[in-house]
Amino acid sequence: MVRDDLVCQTGRCMSDHPQRLAVDAVYVLTVKTFRERIAHATRELGRHGIPFEFIFDFDVPDLDASLLARRFCNTPMPRPAMSLALKHLHAWRLACERGQSRILVLEDDALLHRQFASRFNRAMQAADLIMPGWLIYLGGADAKVPESFFLERKSLIPQPIATTEGYVTDIVACRRRVDWCDVNIMDGPADYLLQKIDPAIGVPQYWLAEFIVEQGSVTGLFDSVLDSHRMKHSRLVNIARNRWNKLQRRKLRRIWVRAKNVARQHQWAGP
Protein backbone atom coordinates (compact mmCIF):
# COMPACT_ATOMS: atom_id res chain seq x y z
CA MET A 1 0.00 0.00 0.00
CA VAL A 2 1.07 3.59 -0.65
CA ARG A 3 0.95 5.95 2.30
CA ASP A 4 -1.50 8.80 1.75
CA ASP A 5 0.97 11.27 3.25
CA LEU A 6 3.48 10.35 0.54
CA VAL A 7 1.18 10.71 -2.44
CA CYS A 8 -1.17 13.66 -2.41
CA GLN A 9 -3.84 14.73 -4.89
CA THR A 10 -1.44 16.81 -6.97
CA GLY A 11 0.85 13.84 -7.49
CA ARG A 12 3.73 15.34 -5.52
CA CYS A 13 5.86 13.04 -3.43
CA MET A 14 8.64 14.46 -1.30
CA SER A 15 11.32 12.56 0.62
CA ASP A 16 11.99 13.26 4.29
CA HIS A 17 15.74 13.19 3.52
CA PRO A 18 16.21 15.05 0.24
CA GLN A 19 19.23 14.20 -1.90
CA ARG A 20 20.57 17.10 -3.93
CA LEU A 21 20.50 16.23 -7.60
CA ALA A 22 21.68 18.65 -10.29
CA VAL A 23 18.16 19.01 -11.73
CA ASP A 24 15.21 21.30 -11.08
CA ALA A 25 12.61 18.53 -11.03
CA VAL A 26 12.16 14.77 -11.12
CA TYR A 27 9.01 13.49 -12.84
CA VAL A 28 7.81 9.91 -12.49
CA LEU A 29 5.28 8.80 -15.10
CA THR A 30 2.64 6.42 -13.79
CA VAL A 31 -1.07 5.56 -13.77
CA LYS A 32 -3.43 6.34 -10.90
CA THR A 33 -4.54 2.70 -10.60
CA PHE A 34 -1.00 1.21 -10.68
CA ARG A 35 -0.76 0.94 -6.90
CA GLU A 36 2.10 -1.57 -6.93
CA ARG A 37 4.22 0.56 -9.25
CA ILE A 38 3.39 3.75 -7.34
CA ALA A 39 4.52 2.04 -4.14
CA HIS A 40 7.71 0.84 -5.85
CA ALA A 41 8.60 4.31 -7.18
CA THR A 42 7.91 5.85 -3.77
CA ARG A 43 10.23 3.36 -2.07
CA GLU A 44 12.90 3.50 -4.77
CA LEU A 45 13.28 7.26 -4.84
CA GLY A 46 12.75 7.51 -1.11
CA ARG A 47 15.61 5.07 -0.62
CA HIS A 48 17.85 7.50 -2.50
CA GLY A 49 16.34 10.56 -0.80
CA ILE A 50 15.17 12.06 -4.09
CA PRO A 51 12.12 14.38 -4.07
CA PHE A 52 9.89 13.85 -7.08
CA GLU A 53 6.48 14.41 -8.60
CA PHE A 54 4.17 11.81 -10.08
CA ILE A 55 2.53 12.54 -13.41
CA PHE A 56 -0.97 11.03 -13.36
CA ASP A 57 -2.29 13.11 -16.24
CA PHE A 58 -3.37 11.43 -19.50
CA ASP A 59 -4.30 8.03 -18.09
CA VAL A 60 -6.14 5.89 -20.66
CA PRO A 61 -9.65 6.63 -19.28
CA ASP A 62 -8.91 10.37 -19.61
CA LEU A 63 -8.09 10.20 -23.34
CA ASP A 64 -10.97 11.56 -25.37
CA ALA A 65 -11.47 11.10 -29.10
CA SER A 66 -10.65 14.69 -30.04
CA LEU A 67 -7.32 14.59 -28.18
CA LEU A 68 -6.34 11.28 -29.80
CA ALA A 69 -7.31 12.54 -33.25
CA ARG A 70 -5.32 15.74 -32.80
CA ARG A 71 -2.19 14.10 -31.40
CA PHE A 72 -2.11 10.70 -33.12
CA CYS A 73 -4.48 10.99 -36.11
CA ASN A 74 -5.00 7.40 -37.32
CA THR A 75 -1.76 5.97 -35.92
CA PRO A 76 -2.32 2.27 -35.10
CA MET A 77 -1.06 2.24 -31.53
CA PRO A 78 -2.44 0.77 -28.28
CA ARG A 79 -4.06 3.28 -25.93
CA PRO A 80 -1.54 2.61 -23.12
CA ALA A 81 1.32 3.53 -25.47
CA MET A 82 -0.50 6.73 -26.46
CA SER A 83 -1.03 7.51 -22.79
CA LEU A 84 2.67 7.10 -22.00
CA ALA A 85 3.74 9.25 -24.95
CA LEU A 86 1.43 12.01 -23.73
CA LYS A 87 2.84 11.74 -20.22
CA HIS A 88 6.36 12.31 -21.58
CA LEU A 89 5.08 15.31 -23.54
CA HIS A 90 3.42 16.61 -20.37
CA ALA A 91 6.72 16.39 -18.47
CA TRP A 92 8.44 18.44 -21.19
CA ARG A 93 5.63 20.97 -21.14
CA LEU A 94 5.76 21.29 -17.36
CA ALA A 95 9.49 22.02 -17.56
CA CYS A 96 8.77 24.82 -20.03
CA GLU A 97 5.87 26.29 -18.06
CA ARG A 98 7.77 26.21 -14.78
CA GLY A 99 11.08 27.41 -16.19
CA GLN A 100 12.94 24.28 -15.08
CA SER A 101 16.33 24.32 -16.73
CA ARG A 102 16.90 20.57 -16.40
CA ILE A 103 14.55 17.66 -15.58
CA LEU A 104 14.91 13.97 -14.85
CA VAL A 105 12.14 11.80 -16.31
CA LEU A 106 11.57 8.28 -14.97
CA GLU A 107 8.96 5.67 -15.76
CA ASP A 108 7.30 4.00 -12.80
CA ASP A 109 9.25 0.73 -13.00
CA ALA A 110 12.65 2.43 -12.83
CA LEU A 111 15.35 0.81 -10.71
CA LEU A 112 18.15 3.15 -9.65
CA HIS A 113 21.81 2.21 -9.28
CA ARG A 114 23.00 2.15 -5.67
CA GLN A 115 25.32 5.08 -6.46
CA PHE A 116 22.71 6.85 -8.55
CA ALA A 117 23.05 10.37 -7.09
CA SER A 118 26.83 10.62 -7.30
CA ARG A 119 27.03 9.15 -10.80
CA PHE A 120 24.13 11.29 -11.98
CA ASN A 121 25.72 14.48 -10.70
CA ARG A 122 29.04 13.62 -12.38
CA ALA A 123 27.14 13.22 -15.64
CA MET A 124 25.54 16.63 -15.11
CA GLN A 125 28.99 18.19 -14.70
CA ALA A 126 29.81 16.83 -18.14
CA ALA A 127 26.46 18.12 -19.45
CA ASP A 128 27.39 21.62 -18.30
CA LEU A 129 30.14 21.61 -20.92
CA ILE A 130 27.93 20.89 -23.95
CA MET A 131 25.66 23.23 -25.87
CA PRO A 132 22.11 23.65 -24.53
CA GLY A 133 19.52 21.40 -26.15
CA TRP A 134 20.39 17.79 -25.26
CA LEU A 135 19.15 14.49 -23.80
CA ILE A 136 21.18 12.03 -21.74
CA TYR A 137 19.89 8.47 -21.56
CA LEU A 138 20.51 6.74 -18.22
CA GLY A 139 19.53 3.16 -19.09
CA GLY A 140 20.48 0.62 -21.74
CA ALA A 141 21.67 -2.16 -19.44
CA ASP A 142 20.78 -4.92 -21.89
CA ALA A 143 20.71 -2.95 -25.13
CA LYS A 144 22.84 -3.64 -28.19
CA VAL A 145 25.50 -1.00 -28.84
CA PRO A 146 28.18 -0.62 -31.53
CA GLU A 147 31.77 -1.64 -30.85
CA SER A 148 32.81 2.01 -30.77
CA PHE A 149 30.75 2.42 -27.59
CA PHE A 150 33.20 0.30 -25.62
CA LEU A 151 36.20 2.24 -26.88
CA GLU A 152 34.81 5.69 -26.15
CA ARG A 153 36.72 7.62 -23.48
CA LYS A 154 34.28 10.49 -23.05
CA SER A 155 31.82 10.45 -20.14
CA LEU A 156 28.92 11.23 -22.51
CA ILE A 157 28.75 8.95 -25.55
CA PRO A 158 26.77 10.10 -28.62
CA GLN A 159 24.16 7.39 -29.22
CA PRO A 160 20.38 7.39 -29.93
CA ILE A 161 18.15 6.56 -26.97
CA ALA A 162 17.00 2.93 -26.78
CA THR A 163 14.06 3.06 -24.36
CA THR A 164 12.55 5.67 -22.06
CA GLU A 165 12.83 4.26 -18.54
CA GLY A 166 15.09 7.12 -17.48
CA TYR A 167 16.64 10.19 -19.07
CA VAL A 168 17.58 13.76 -18.25
CA THR A 169 17.03 16.65 -20.63
CA ASP A 170 17.22 20.42 -20.56
CA ILE A 171 14.61 23.12 -21.13
CA VAL A 172 15.94 24.05 -24.57
CA ALA A 173 15.32 20.51 -25.79
CA CYS A 174 11.94 20.41 -24.04
CA ARG A 175 10.79 23.60 -25.77
CA ARG A 176 11.80 22.27 -29.17
CA ARG A 177 9.99 18.97 -28.56
CA VAL A 178 6.81 20.64 -27.36
CA ASP A 179 6.82 22.92 -30.40
CA TRP A 180 7.37 19.93 -32.70
CA CYS A 181 4.55 17.93 -31.12
CA ASP A 182 2.17 20.87 -31.36
CA VAL A 183 2.45 20.92 -35.16
CA ASN A 184 3.18 17.26 -35.99
CA ILE A 185 1.47 13.91 -35.51
CA MET A 186 2.85 11.75 -32.70
CA ASP A 187 2.98 8.59 -34.80
CA GLY A 188 4.64 6.15 -32.42
CA PRO A 189 5.44 5.26 -28.80
CA ALA A 190 7.66 7.40 -26.60
CA ASP A 191 11.01 5.78 -27.46
CA TYR A 192 10.30 5.92 -31.19
CA LEU A 193 9.22 9.56 -30.89
CA LEU A 194 12.41 10.61 -29.13
CA GLN A 195 14.47 8.79 -31.75
CA LYS A 196 12.53 10.64 -34.45
CA ILE A 197 11.99 14.09 -32.97
CA ASP A 198 15.38 14.92 -31.47
CA PRO A 199 17.44 14.54 -34.68
CA ALA A 200 14.79 16.62 -36.49
CA ILE A 201 15.04 19.49 -33.98
CA GLY A 202 18.81 19.44 -33.49
CA VAL A 203 18.89 17.77 -30.08
CA PRO A 204 21.82 15.34 -29.67
CA GLN A 205 21.33 12.28 -27.49
CA TYR A 206 24.00 10.75 -25.27
CA TRP A 207 24.49 7.64 -23.16
CA LEU A 208 26.53 7.11 -20.03
CA ALA A 209 29.31 4.54 -20.30
CA GLU A 210 27.62 2.63 -17.46
CA PHE A 211 23.85 2.57 -16.97
CA ILE A 212 22.39 3.94 -13.73
CA VAL A 213 18.70 3.11 -14.38
CA GLU A 214 17.07 -0.21 -15.27
CA GLN A 215 13.50 -1.19 -16.16
CA GLY A 216 11.70 -3.32 -13.61
CA SER A 217 9.47 -4.69 -16.36
CA VAL A 218 12.61 -5.92 -18.16
CA THR A 219 14.46 -7.29 -15.12
CA GLY A 220 11.35 -9.24 -14.10
CA LEU A 221 10.31 -7.14 -11.12
CA PHE A 222 7.03 -6.32 -12.91
CA ASP A 223 5.10 -7.85 -15.77
CA SER A 224 5.22 -5.61 -18.84
CA VAL A 225 2.06 -3.68 -19.72
CA LEU A 226 3.35 -2.36 -23.07
CA ASP A 227 5.91 -4.74 -24.62
CA SER A 228 3.98 -7.44 -26.51
CA HIS A 229 7.12 -9.58 -26.87
CA ARG A 230 7.76 -9.77 -23.11
CA MET A 231 4.04 -10.22 -22.42
CA LYS A 232 4.16 -13.54 -24.33
CA HIS A 233 6.60 -15.04 -21.82
CA SER A 234 6.63 -15.83 -18.13
CA ARG A 235 8.39 -13.59 -15.66
CA LEU A 236 11.06 -16.28 -15.16
CA VAL A 237 11.84 -16.35 -18.89
CA ASN A 238 12.08 -12.55 -18.99
CA ILE A 239 14.43 -12.54 -15.99
CA ALA A 240 16.71 -15.11 -17.62
CA ARG A 241 16.72 -13.25 -20.95
CA ASN A 242 17.55 -9.94 -19.26
CA ARG A 243 20.47 -11.40 -17.32
CA TRP A 244 21.86 -13.15 -20.39
CA ASN A 245 21.54 -10.02 -22.53
CA LYS A 246 23.35 -7.91 -19.93
CA LEU A 247 26.12 -10.48 -19.75
CA GLN A 248 26.67 -11.09 -23.45
CA ARG A 249 25.82 -7.65 -24.85
CA ARG A 250 27.71 -5.56 -22.30
CA LYS A 251 30.17 -7.42 -20.05
CA LEU A 252 31.45 -10.11 -22.38
CA ARG A 253 31.33 -7.93 -25.46
CA ARG A 254 33.21 -5.13 -23.69
CA ILE A 255 36.01 -7.56 -22.83
CA TRP A 256 36.10 -8.91 -26.39
CA VAL A 257 36.06 -5.51 -28.10
CA ARG A 258 38.75 -4.04 -25.87
CA ALA A 259 40.95 -7.12 -26.18
CA LYS A 260 40.58 -7.03 -29.96
CA ASN A 261 41.49 -3.33 -29.95
CA VAL A 262 44.63 -3.97 -27.89
CA ALA A 263 45.67 -6.76 -30.26
CA ARG A 264 45.11 -4.48 -33.23
CA GLN A 265 47.25 -1.74 -31.66
CA HIS A 266 50.09 -4.22 -31.02
CA GLN A 267 49.82 -5.38 -34.63
CA TRP A 268 50.10 -1.80 -35.88
CA ALA A 269 53.03 -1.11 -33.57
CA GLY A 270 54.97 -3.97 -35.12
CA PRO A 271 57.90 -5.88 -33.57
Residue 269: pLDDT above 70?
A: no
pTM of the full structure: 0.83
Pairing status of strand 156-158 against strand 205-208: antiparallel
Assess contact for 159 and 145: CB atoms under 8 A: yes
DSSP code at position 39: H
Beta bridge partners of 52: 13
Distances (CA, A) of 9 to 44, 56, 87: 20, 10, 17
- How much is the average pLDDT of 238-261? 67
How high does pLDDT run on average in the chain? 85
Residue 5: pLDDT above 50?
A: no
Please state the domain extents for the chain.
12-269
Residue 206: pLDDT above 90?
A: yes
Sequence-distant (≥ 6) Cβ neighbours of residue 74 within 8 angstroms: none
> What is the rounded CA–CA span in Å between residue 217 and residue 221?
6
CATH class of 12-269: alpha beta
Residue 12: pLDDT above 60?
A: no
The 10s digit of each residue's pLDDT in 49-87 is 999 999 999 999 999 999 999 999 989 999 999 999 999
Amino acid 217: pLDDT: 73
Return the C-alpha torsion angle 188, 192, 193, 197, nearest 10.
Answer: -130
- Residue 145's pLDDT band, with cuts at 50, 70 and 90, is confident
